[in-house]
Amino acid sequence: MESLALPSLTSLTNSSSKFQREQHMTKFLKRTHFIKSSRGHPYSTHHIHWRVIKMKAVDEDYELKQMRDMAAAKKRWDALLRNGKVKVLTTREAGYAIQLSNKTLLDVRPSTEREKARVKGSTWIPIFEVDDKFDAGTLSRKVTNYVMGGWWSGVPTLSYDKEFLLKVEEKFPKDTDLIVACQKGLRSLAACELLYNAGYTNLFWVQGGLEAAENEDLVREGPQPFKFAGIGGVSEFLGWTDQQRAAAAKEGWGYRFMFSARLVGIFLVADALFIASQQVGRYLQDIKSH
């Protein structure tokens, strides 16, 4: 990951929990102040604030580093494309290249996206995969991801596959023509940089990712269109993603009615649960009164 200079996957966790950490640190220092004062060693409020300010500075420095790393990565990727070291293909051009030239499409998306839609005959080696570990650090990131919008977008917690490059090298020689694609185009650029630095010279990047593909561009397998492979969560259920709204504009009122019915259903269920909770509360009060 450091070779890509990409922001750490834990940066979101660190930034989102910054306020809680400051509160915990302040409480801890105040307790320390009380203990030391009782022993005749006053611990000034100024010292407490200095510690908190120092912790804030460390967090801000880390976030700035993440921003600088991402900006540097984008510059490198732009240079790869500008200098022709990685060729650019549209989804339609990629489809022609696969059908007419037998080029290999390397799908670097996580399993959650590939299961919904995939290019027929493509090779799947994800650069980021769904993190299914249950250690303390992973659980913390999962909770943070969910609270920070994962419940709405359906985006899972991902982790970088350190064996990505090794898996590609085991399957493809360095002179293979590889068309690298992800859902939106960012992760595939990171994969292209890794592969180029490892000695692959015939690399093609799908601009905009598979999400930019129209139905006729690529031969698809899977239950959903490519445009819907990257959506999920409550937003997908209610049809409030940009992709679904664009589809609704084409499909007409029948498509919109389905999602409107789901929204009404949610309100009805919520209302029923509220009424049921009130009834249960009254029932419990009656039991206590007798």
Rounded to 5 degrees, φ, ψ at 12 are: -65, -45
Asked whether 91 and 167 are in contact (CB, 8 A), the reply is: no
Do 154 and 236 meet the contact criterion of CB atoms below 8 Å apart?
yes
The one-letter amino acid at 279: Q
Distance in angstroms (rounded) separating the CA atoms of residues 174 and 193? 14
233 contacts 151 by C-beta, under 8 angstroms: yes
Specify the 3-state DSSP secondary structure of 52.
helix
Q: Which residues pair with 130 in a beta bridge?
A: 158
Determine the straight-line distance between the first and last CA of the chain, rounded to whole angstroms: 66
Give the whole-angstrom CA distance, residue 202 versus residue 195. 10
Active site residue 182: yes
The catalytically annotated residue of 178, 182, 194, 218 is 182
Assess contact for 219 and 119: CB atoms under 8 A.
yes
Nearest to 198 by CA among 186, 210, 190: 190
Q: Report angle CA 157, 245, 153 to the nearest 5 degrees.
A: 15
| Residue 179, C-beta contacts closer than 8 angstroms, at least 6 positions apart | 89, 94, 97, 98, 103, 104, 105, 106, 204, 205, 206
Q: Any idea which residues carry the catalytic annotation?
A: 182
